[in-house]
Each structure stands twice: as structure tokens, then as C-alpha cells.
Amino acid sequence: MLHTIKPAEHGPLGDPMVHAVQACVHCGFCLAACPTYHELGQEMDTPRGRIVLMKQVLEGNLAWTAAQPHVDRCLGCLACEPACPSGVPYRDLISPFRALAQPYFKRTPIERLRRWLAARTIPYPGRFRLALRAARVGRWLGPLVPRALRPMLDLAPATVPPAESWAPVTPAHGRRRARVALLSGCAQQVLDPDINTATIDVLTRNGVEVVLPPAQGCCGGLAWHTGDLAAAQAFARRNLDAFPTDVDAILTNAAGCGSAMHEYHLILRGTPDEARADAFRRRVVDVSVFLIRLGLREAPPDSGKRQRIAYHDACHLANAQNVRREPRELLRAIPGVELCEIAEGHLCCGSAGTYNLDQPELAASLGAQKARAAMAALATGFPLRQGSGGQAGLAAPDVVASGNIGCLTQLQAHLAKAGSPVRVRHTMQVLRDAYMDRG
């Protein structure tokens, strides 16, 4: 017997989930965009298949555990949203469903331990740095480490860059054109603190005063995407309190963080903070969008070098925030740059938060494909002259640029595995380096 979903039975997140389920007309246009369908070729690992499964669970017609493997395998990449002609807001379904499913999904003790370790370390830079150091010991222990924990060791970088700190306020160079608050991020400031340094440099050169609220914390994205609603709410509230209102925008330079902050109204739906969260998320913008709207004060100088850059669309920028044009425009503003498009750019690189830890085989397959596609894109660019001397046409090293630390880490690992010398850089690092390179 078919039941109808009763939104009220599913708490404050019931309405958005039901709306998403009902909007799907099962046409299947989203299938080709879905990386897990691309990898596994089965209906239950497509957006349409998952929507049907989640609908049945919400109606009480299917056990939570029957949907679990397919819901767990979803990357949350949202490639299904732009592909959907009916405008199904898949994001309003997947994370709320995971939050609701948390008590019912079955996990082994080791899986629970892995999730607990990730949740207790990654959002806290001090702990995360310590955990990465501990991973070196874990690697030395090798086979003694349980199999389910090994992906954590494999992914930990061999070296951790020294910590950097940033002033609470960095004044604009010259006349101030704007004042912004920047999210400093958690994993990013440990894995590559230079991204924040470069972001602040580019903004201040362009007349923007940058505030880093000292009381800010993790965006809450990791907790939200793994079904820990209470933790996501706590992180969101902390940032609502920490960020000033007397700024022109709240900037992020990590796609995953920006996307999570855009969902604060959903995370805090039905709580006294919902309206505040909604106002907050409307002020959140990716740094590339902010710079394009503001306009670069001056283009980077012409160093006389030519460089191929393959731009990788982070899913949480392209799909979740519809940001595709702006980072490309910034890179094209650099004299001598040829931008190369990566084939099948809509396919996720497999990083996707903690997906690398939870679904290591799928993540590795997607990562290897993305690295190959990036290398192929760069290989078809214009021929660059090798040599030294700074003449026009001199080749600078090929680069893959992106706007998300997860993607950058994943791409770097898989390019290295493929033996490629290509460098992986955040868009802000490429831009900052171009400003400083006078040939």
C-alpha cells in the first residue's frame, strides 16, 4: 500500500524534502550527469533512483538500511541539479535525509570510529594538524592499522606546511573600495595556509579591507553533509555570532564552505535563528565573484611568460553556487594565460568532503579520471617555448587551478600518482603570483 509523506512527521526539514521529492518527474535527464551512475551504471545509484528510495523510506514503505548504501555513495556533488529540467532542489533532500537517517543507518564500530575521528579533528585546525602528524606514525605501523582506517593514512600529506596567521584586520592598499569579512576555513588553513595569504593579498591590492573575525570556526559543512545536524547547527550559530554586519560581504575561498554557508537557513530551519541564518547566507559570496563584481583595480602585469592553466570546476562552486564564469575571467585577466577546458568537467573529482575516507575506491577512480582529463586538456594547449631568459613566449609551468581545497588535494595526489609535474594551485594563488611576477 502506498502512503503519502507527512512532512510534519519529519520535523522542520520535512517540508523541503517533500517538495524536492514531489518535484521529480522521473524523466532521467540527470542520469548522465551523475558520477556514481557513470561509475556503477545502476539505477539506484542515480539521482532519480535515490529520490525514489528516499521517498519510499519517508513514506514508511522501505527500511532505512535498504537505502543506506546508495545514499552513502552519493557524493553530494549536485551535478544533478543543473541537469534537471524540473528544477528538483536535490540539496534540500540529501543532507536533511542524512540527518534524519543518522539513528537508523547501521555502521560497524570501525566505521563509527572513522567518522568520529574525522568529525573531531578536521574542523579544528590545531587538532587536524596533530592528526596529520599522527598519521605518519600510523603509516609506519602499516598493516597493524585496521583496513577501514587506512584511507585516512593514505590521504594524509607527507608534509604539513608551517602554520600561518593573519591579522584580524588587513587594510586595503590605497583608497578603500570595500570592506569584507573572510572565512579562514579549517582544513584549508592546515593543508595550504598560503591560500588565505594569497586571498588577502589579492583583495587588499584591489582596495579591499579584509577582516578575519577571531571567533569564527568551521563552516559546519562536514557535519551537515555527514548527517550530524546538531554539530552543523552549533558551527553555524558560532559563525552567525562571530561575523560582523558592517561589511560589504562575507567571503569564502573554499567552495565547500561557501556552499555550506549558503545552506545555513536550512541547517537552522525551525529554530529561533532561522531568519538570522537566512540574512547571513545572502551575504556569503565566493571571493572570485566578489572580485569580478568589484572589478580588478588593475590587471596583473605582463611578465612576458605564457602559461597553460586548466581550470577545474569544484562541484560546490559550479553546481551549488552557479559560479563558473568568474574564476575563469580572473585567470584570463592574467597576460599570457591560455585557459584549457577539462573534458567532462561536470564529473566530480571524487574528493567531496570525507568521501575519500568513506568511499575510497570510488573516490580514487574519479580522482584518477580527473587527473587524466586535466593532463589531456593541458596537452592540447598552445605549444610553449621552453628555455630561460624572460623572452616573450617563455613557458611557465602548467597549472591546474581550482577554488576548493578538497579538489586541490585530490588533484595533486592523483597528478603525482600519474607522474605529472603539473602544479595545482588555488585561483587566488595563481592571481597573487601573477601580480608579483614582473618577469
Q: Which of 13, 18, 90, 155 forms a contact with ligand SF4 (CB under 6 A)?
A: 90
Of 124, 131, 179, 185, residue with least CA distance to 155? 131
Residue 354, all three cell numbers: 570525507
Please give the DSSP secondary-structure letter assigned to residue 301: P
Cα torsion angle, 76, 70, 223, 427, sign: negative
For ligand SF4, the binding residues in 227-246 under the rule CB under 6 A are: none
Q: Which of 1, 26, 144, 162 forms a contact with ligand SF4 (CB under 6 A)?
A: 26
Among residues 34 and 339, whose Cβ is nearest to ligand SF4?
Answer: 34
Q: Which of 5, 17, 18, 24 forms a contact with ligand SF4 (CB under 6 A)?
A: 24
| Residue 48 within binding range of ligand SF4, rule CB under 6 A | yes
Q: Which of 3, 22, 28, 387 forms a contact with ligand SF4 (CB under 6 A)?
A: 28
Backbone angles phi, psi at 14, to 5 degrees: -65, -45
| Residue 35 within binding range of ligand SF4, rule CB under 6 A | yes
Among residues 88 and 131, whose Cβ is nearest to ligand SF4?
Answer: 88
Among residues 255 and 291, whose Cβ is nearest to ligand SF4?
Answer: 255
| Residue 41 within binding range of ligand SF4, rule CB under 6 A | no
Q: Compute the least distance from the CB of residue 55 to ligand SF4, in Å.
A: 11
Residues pairing with 249 in the sheet:
180
Counts for the chain of helices (H) and strands (E), in that order: 23, 10
Q: Where are the beta strands (DSSP E) in 79-226?
A: 169-170, 178-182, 208-211
Query: Do residues 152 and 114 make contact, with C-beta atoms less than 8 angstroms apart?
Result: yes
| Residue 362 within binding range of ligand SF4, rule CB under 6 A | no
Q: Which of 88, 172, 247, 260 forms a contact with ligand SF4 (CB under 6 A)?
A: 88
Among residues 28 and 390, whose Cβ is nearest to ligand SF4?
Answer: 28
Of 143, 161, 164, residue with least CA distance to 153? 143
Q: Which of 5, 13, 17, 30 forms a contact with ligand SF4 (CB under 6 A)?
A: 30
| Residue 25 within binding range of ligand SF4, rule CB under 6 A | yes
Residue 68, all three cell numbers: 543506506
Q: Compute the least distance from the CB of residue 81 to ligand SF4, in Å.
A: 7
Among residues 90 and 280, whose Cβ is nearest to ligand SF4?
Answer: 90
* Rounded-to-integer distance, Cα 280 and Cα 255, Å: 17
Q: Compute the least distance from the CB of residue 175 to ligand SF4, in Å.
A: 44
For ligand SF4, the binding residues in 67-86 under the rule CB under 6 A are: 74-80, 84, 86
Query: Do residues 426 and 253 make contact, with C-beta atoms less than 8 angstroms apart?
Result: yes
Q: Which of 13, 17, 21, 36 forms a contact with ligand SF4 (CB under 6 A)?
A: 36
| Residue 314 within binding range of ligand SF4, rule CB under 6 A | no
Options 32-40, 123-131, 176-184, 208-216: segment touching ligand SF4 (CB under 6 A) = 32-40
Among residues 82 and 207, whose Cβ is nearest to ligand SF4?
Answer: 82
Q: Which of 5, 10, 50, 155 forms a contact with ligand SF4 (CB under 6 A)?
A: 50
Residue 386, all three cell numbers: 621552453
Q: Where are the beta strands (DSSP E) in 174-259?
A: 178-182, 208-211, 249-252
Around Cβ 141, how many Cβ atoms within 10 Å? Answer: 9
* Rounded-to-integer distance, Cα 154 and Cα 138, Å: 10
Query: Do residues 409 and 402 make contact, with C-beta atoms less than 8 angstroms apart?
Result: no
Give start and end residues of each alpha helix (H) in 226-321.
Answer: 229-242, 255-261, 264-267, 274-281, 287-294, 315-318
**Binding residues for ligand SF4 (CB under 6 A):** 24-30, 33-36, 47-48, 50, 74-80, 84, 86, 88, 90
